Chains A and B, each alone.
Chain A
Amino acid sequence: MRIASTVERLPASFRDPSGFLFERDGDLLRQVNRGYRETYDHLMSSGLYKSLVREGLLIPHEEVALDLALDARAYRVIRPQRVAFISYPYEWCFSQLKRAALATLQIQKRALDCGMTLKDASSFNIQFEKGRPVLIDTLSFDRLVEGEPWEAYRQFCQHFLAPLALMTFRDVRLGRLATLYLDGVPLDMAVRLLPARAWLRFGLLLHLSLHARSQRRFAGSPVAQARRRRRMSRTALMGLIDSLEGAIRGLHWEPKGTPWAEYGLGEHYVPEAKQLKETWVDRTLARLQPGVVWDLGANVGHYSRLASRHAGLVVSMDADPAAVERNYQRVVTEGTDNILPLQVDLTNPTPDLGWALRERASLLSRGPADVLLVLALIHHLAIGNNLPLPDLAAFFARLAPWLLIEFVRKEDPRVSQLLAARRDIFPDYTPEGFEAAFEKHFLVEETLDLPGTLRRLYLMRRRPGTQSP
Chain B
Amino acid sequence: MMIRPILDPLIYLDPGSGSYLLQLLIAGALGTIFAVKMFWGRIKGFFAQRLFGKKDEDSFDG
Please give, as numbers and ranges, the residues of chain B lying within 8 Å of A239 by CB-CB distance: 27, 30-35
Please give, as numbers and ranges, the residues of chain A lying within 8 Å of B15 by CB-CB distance: 154, 187, 215, 219
Please give, as numbers and ranges, the residues of chain A lying within 8 Å of B33 by CB-CB distance: 239, 243
Smallest Cβ-Cβ distance to B28: which chain A residue: A236
Stretch of A206-214, A276-284, A405-413 that contacts chain B: A206-214
Please give, as numbers and ranges, the residues of chain B lying within 8 Å of A238 by CB-CB distance: 31, 34
Question: B48 an interface residue at 8 Å Cβ cutoff?
Answer: no
A330 to chain B, nearest CB (A): 14
Smallest Cβ-Cβ distance to A57: which chain B residue: B60
Question: Which of B10, B12, B23, B33 has the largest number of chain A CB atoms within 10 A?
Answer: B23
Question: A226 an interface residue at 8 Å Cβ cutoff?
Answer: yes
Q: Considering the complex, which residues of chain B in the window 5-31 have a beta carbon less than 8 Å from any beta carbon of chain A? A: 10, 12-28, 30-31
**Do B30 and A219 touch across chains, with their CB atoms under 8 A apart?**
no
Cα A221 to Cα B15 with chains together (Å): 9
Question: B56 an interface residue at 8 Å Cβ cutoff?
Answer: no
- Choose one: A150, A219, A227, A232; the contact of B18 (CB below 8 Å): A219
Cα A249 to Cα B61 with chains together (Å): 9
Question: B62 an interface residue at 8 Å Cβ cutoff?
Answer: yes
Smallest Cβ-Cβ distance to A94: which chain B residue: B62
Stretch of A100-108, A260-268, A376-384, A390-398 that contacts chain B: A100-108
Please give, as numbers and ranges, the residues of chain A lying within 8 Å of B28 by CB-CB distance: 236
Chain A residues touching B, range? 35 or more
Cα A227 to Cα B17 with chains together (Å): 11
Smallest Cβ-Cβ distance to A248: which chain B residue: B62
A85 to chain B, nearest CB (A): 21
Cα A242 to Cα B35 with chains together (Å): 11
User: Once A and B bind, how many residue pairs between them come within 8 Å at the CB atom?
Assistant: 104
Cα A225 to Cα B17 with chains together (Å): 12
**Do A154 and B16 touch across chains, with their CB atoms under 8 A apart?**
yes
**Do A243 and B27 touch across chains, with their CB atoms under 8 A apart?**
no
Please give, as numbers and ranges, the residues of chain A lying within 8 Å of B19 by CB-CB distance: 149, 153-154, 157, 211, 214-215
**Do A149 and B24 touch across chains, with their CB atoms under 8 A apart?**
yes
Cα A215 to Cα B31 with chains together (Å): 22
Question: Which of A187, A223, A236 has the largest number of chain B CB atoms within 10 A?
Answer: A236
Smallest Cβ-Cβ distance to A133: which chain B residue: B60
Q: Considering the complex, which residues of chain A in the window 133-168 have a beta carbon less than 8 Å from any beta carbon of chain B? A: 149-150, 153-154, 157
Question: A235 an interface residue at 8 Å Cβ cutoff?
Answer: yes
Question: A233 an interface residue at 8 Å Cβ cutoff?
Answer: yes
Chain B residues touching A, range? 20 to 34
**Do B24 and A232 touch across chains, with their CB atoms under 8 A apart?**
yes
**Do A220 and B31 touch across chains, with their CB atoms under 8 A apart?**
no
Cα A149 to Cα B13 with chains together (Å): 19
Question: A422 an interface residue at 8 Å Cβ cutoff?
Answer: no
Question: A216 an interface residue at 8 Å Cβ cutoff?
Answer: yes
B61 to chain A, nearest CB (A): 7
Question: B37 an interface residue at 8 Å Cβ cutoff?
Answer: yes
Cα A233 to Cα B34 with chains together (Å): 12
Please give, as numbers and ranges, the residues of chain A lying within 8 Å of B16 by CB-CB distance: 154
A56 to chain B, nearest CB (A): 10
Q: 1/0 per residue A220-259: CB within 8 Å of B? A: 1111001100111101101110110000010000000000
16 additional contacts (CB under 8 A) given A106-B60, A157-B19, A240-B27: A98-B62, A99-B60, A99-B62, A103-B60, A149-B20, A149-B27, A210-B22, A214-B21, A215-B18, A215-B19, A217-B18, A220-B14, A226-B21, A227-B24, A239-B27, A240-B26
30 contacts between A and B (CB under 8 A): A99-B60, A99-B61, A103-B60, A106-B60, A149-B27, A150-B23, A153-B23, A210-B22, A211-B19, A211-B22, A215-B15, A215-B18, A216-B18, A219-B13, A226-B20, A226-B21, A230-B24, A230-B25, A231-B24, A232-B23, A232-B27, A233-B27, A239-B27, A239-B30, A239-B32, A240-B23, A240-B26, A240-B27, A242-B37, A243-B30
5 closest A-B pairs (Cβ-Cβ)? A239-B34, A215-B18, A239-B30, A220-B13, A149-B23
